[in-house]
């Protein structure tokens, strides 16, 4: 079934297709192969299903690549002892602010660049890319100064023990001091993704991760000619890995083999574009902060029921987040499709793209959700390892968390896509208010009500989380159908 949209009016110029796809590779396998290797197509013209797959597959893999940085670091650092592990954990909890800003800038960049690409305004897209980089650097500089100067004080503020501060100050100082590598990696990847060059993002992250994985053990333990830097070595390796990825990104932008090419005459400030980016990114930053803070509130409420409830929730939520990673890729694909098709003055095609992406996402999450519901206990036990025998309560809480929240996966599938569709349209305030209402005004009060006055304990908290995410999807669907996002000017 084709979803390519209506044919051009008689006598009208045919829309430019950037490259024709060989007919022998139009099947599912060929589309998957094209998605990984990268092809140049006009996402406002080709069949919607094919367009979503071409965008989503590398974005799904991208999500996995991004998570590898933290996994690799903690894998090697854990062998240094609990102080080093604690230093990484505390620093990562503070670093959530950097991720919030980076993701907000990423969302704003996606909306602006995708819109310009859809309008066939390549110059505007190129200029927007430069302004996004400038804004990313501007956000990174004050954070770098504060983090580098006050690293020990920041750890102390987070109630880190003296041994943790002694071991981890170098790690914290360097990670914050080099936060520009995170900002630019996210922002420039958003440029490529919004332009439709999603496979480029995947290659950049593979390149950066390989460097990090090779350098981590060498710099942490001092293998061969490398100095033994301990936990600080993890920060050095991550910074070099991400920094190398940024260098590769900039080289690709200057080379201009994709849809975006930065030339010397683009290297100047554009106050109008900067203002648009700031307007789009501000609410997007708030979205992530609201979401993160709500999880903190959930943990706070669970704390009344003991360490086992908190630990079980932590394991369950980590498995859920891992299971949802591919859905973020699908949602980002929907954001690109919305931005580009609105720019091409094809709002109906943008709307159809979201419904189709939501359907694909629902099929995927239905399978994942069913596995989590049926096999919740053995999955949690596998993650807990030997601890499952010693902590039966932790195992039961984790399984109940996983099973309860997974019951709402069919709703989450559409909710995630709706949220990113609003962001891709440049309507970043709508999902911000949705998050505030569903997580702070509904989830947290309901979690306390069900768990304490109504006596449901941790199960009440898990039910509240499932209800909040399901409500978010329903509210998102209602607002999306109203269509106000189609008129958003970017």
The confidence score (pLDDT) of residue 70 equals 73
The confidence score (pLDDT) of residue 160 equals 81
The confidence score (pLDDT) of residue 4 equals 38
Q: How confident is the model at residue 26 (pLDDT cuts 50, 70, 90)?
A: low
Residue 74 vs residues 91, 176, 210, 384: alpha-carbon distances, Å = 12, 17, 16, 16
263 and 360 share one domain: no
Residue ending a domain, among 229, 246, 269, is 269
- Which of 230, 235, 236 lies closest to 79 in space, CA to CA? 230
216 and 340 share one domain: no
77 and 189 share one domain: yes
237 and 298 share one domain: no
160 and 217 share one domain: yes
Residue 304 vs residues 8, 308, 310: alpha-carbon distances, Å = 63, 11, 9
Domain-embedded: residue 484: yes
Each residue's pLDDT tens digit, 389-415: 446 888 888 899 999 999 989 899 999
Answer whether 329's CB lies under 8 Å from 60's CB.
Answer: yes
- pLDDT of 80 > 50? The answer is yes
The confidence score (pLDDT) of residue 391 equals 65
Q: How confident is the model at residue 91 (pLDDT cuts 50, 70, 90)?
A: confident
**Average pLDDT of span 4-25:** 39
Domain-embedded: residue 20: no
Answer whether 188's CB lies under 8 Å from 249's CB.
Answer: yes
Tokens of 175: 């990670």
Answer whether 183's CB lies under 8 Å from 160's CB.
Answer: no
- pLDDT of 2 > 50? The answer is no
Confidence (pTM): 0.83
110 and 218 share one domain: yes
317 and 466 share one domain: yes
262 and 122 share one domain: yes
The confidence score (pLDDT) of residue 17 equals 40
263 and 315 share one domain: no
Mean pLDDT of the chain: 87
Domain-embedded: residue 190: yes
Domain-embedded: residue 487: yes
Domain-embedded: residue 252: yes
Positive or negative torsion for Cα 86, 88, 92, 98: positive
**Average pLDDT of span 259-270:** 89
Domain-embedded: residue 321: yes
- pLDDT of 349 > 50? The answer is yes
230 and 349 share one domain: no
Answer whether 35's CB lies under 8 Å from 54's CB.
Answer: yes
**Average pLDDT of span 459-477:** 95
- pLDDT of 16 > 50? The answer is no
**Average pLDDT of span 99-106:** 91
Give the count of domains, the chain.
2
Residue ending a domain, among 227, 244, 269, is 269
The confidence score (pLDDT) of residue 309 equals 84
**Average pLDDT of span 228-252:** 94
- pLDDT of 171 > 70? The answer is yes
Domain-embedded: residue 23: no
Domain that holds residue 222: 61-269
The confidence score (pLDDT) of residue 87 equals 84
264 and 362 share one domain: no
Residue ending a domain, among 241, 269, 297, is 269
The confidence score (pLDDT) of residue 282 equals 92
Each residue's pLDDT tens digit, 427-441: 999 999 999 999 999
Q: How confident is the model at residue 302 (pLDDT cuts 50, 70, 90)?
A: confident
**Average pLDDT of span 6-17:** 37
**Average pLDDT of span 348-376:** 94
Each residue's pLDDT tens digit, 141-150: 999 999 999 9
Higher pLDDT, 466 or 321: 466
The confidence score (pLDDT) of residue 147 equals 95
Tokens of 483: 């269509």
Domain-embedded: residue 18: no
Q: How confident is the model at residue 5 (pLDDT cuts 50, 70, 90)?
A: very low
251 and 395 share one domain: no
The confidence score (pLDDT) of residue 430 equals 96
């Amino acid at each position: 079934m084709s979803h390519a949209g209506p044919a051009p009016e008689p006598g009208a110029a045919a829309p430019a297709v950037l490259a024709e796809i060989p007919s022998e590779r139009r099947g599912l396998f060929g589309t998957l192969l094209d998605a990984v290797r990268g092809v140049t197509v006009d996402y406002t013209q080709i069949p919607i299903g094919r367009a979503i797959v071409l965008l989503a597959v590398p974005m799904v893999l991208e999500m996995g690549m991004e998570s590898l940085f933290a996994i690799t670091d903690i894998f090697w650092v854990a062998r240094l002892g609990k102080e080093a592990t604690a230093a990484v954990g505390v620093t990562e909890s503070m670093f959530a602010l950097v991720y919030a800003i980076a993701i907000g800038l990423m969302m704003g960049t996606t909306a602006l660049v995708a819109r310009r690409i859809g309008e066939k305004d390549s110059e505007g897209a190129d200029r927007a890319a430069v302004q996004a980089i400038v804004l990313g650097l501007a956000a990174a500089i004050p954070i770098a100064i504060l983090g580098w100067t006050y690293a020990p004080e920041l750890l102390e503020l987070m109630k880190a023990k003296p041994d943790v501060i002694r071991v981890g100050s170098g790690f914290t100082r360097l990670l914050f001091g080099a936060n520009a590598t995170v900002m630019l990696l996210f922002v420039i990847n958003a440029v490529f993704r919004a332009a439709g060059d999603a496979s480029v993002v995947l290659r950049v992250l593979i390149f950066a991760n390989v460097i990090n994985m090779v350098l981590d053990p060498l710099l942490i333990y001092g293998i061969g000619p490398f100095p033994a830097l301990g936990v600080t070595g993890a920060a050095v390796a991550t910074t070099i890995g991400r920094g190398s990825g940024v260098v590769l990104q900039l080289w690709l932008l200057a080379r201009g083999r994709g849809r975006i090419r930065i030339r010397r005459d683009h290297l100047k400030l554009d106050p109008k574009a900067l203002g648009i980016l700031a307007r789009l990114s501000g609410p997007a930053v708030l979205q992530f902060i609201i979401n993160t803070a709500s999880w903190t509130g959930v943990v706070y409420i669970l704390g009344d029921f003991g360490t086992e409830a908190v630990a079980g929730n932590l394991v369950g939520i980590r498995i859920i987040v891992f299971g949802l990673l591919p859905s973020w890729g699908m949602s980002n694909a929907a954001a690109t499709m919305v931005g580009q098709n609105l720019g091409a003055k094809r709002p109906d095609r943008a709307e159809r793209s979201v419904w189709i992406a939501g359907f694909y996402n629902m099929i995927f999450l239905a399978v994942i959700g069913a596995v989590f519901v049926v096999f919740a206990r053995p999955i949690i036990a596998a993650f807990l390892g030997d601890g499952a025998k010693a902590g039966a309560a932790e195992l039961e809480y984790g399984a109940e968390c996983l099973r309860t929240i997974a019951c709402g996966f069919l709703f989450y599938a559409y909710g995630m896509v709706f949220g990113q569709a609003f962001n891709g349209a440049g309507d970043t305030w709508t999902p911000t208010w949705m998050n505030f209402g569903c997580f702070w005004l509904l989830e947290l009060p309901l979690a306390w009500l069900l768990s304490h006055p109504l006596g449901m304990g941790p199960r009440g908290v898990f039910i509240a989380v499932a209800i909040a995410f399901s409500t978010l999807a329903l509210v998102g669907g209602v607002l999306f159908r109203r269509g106000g996002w189609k008129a958003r000017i970017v």
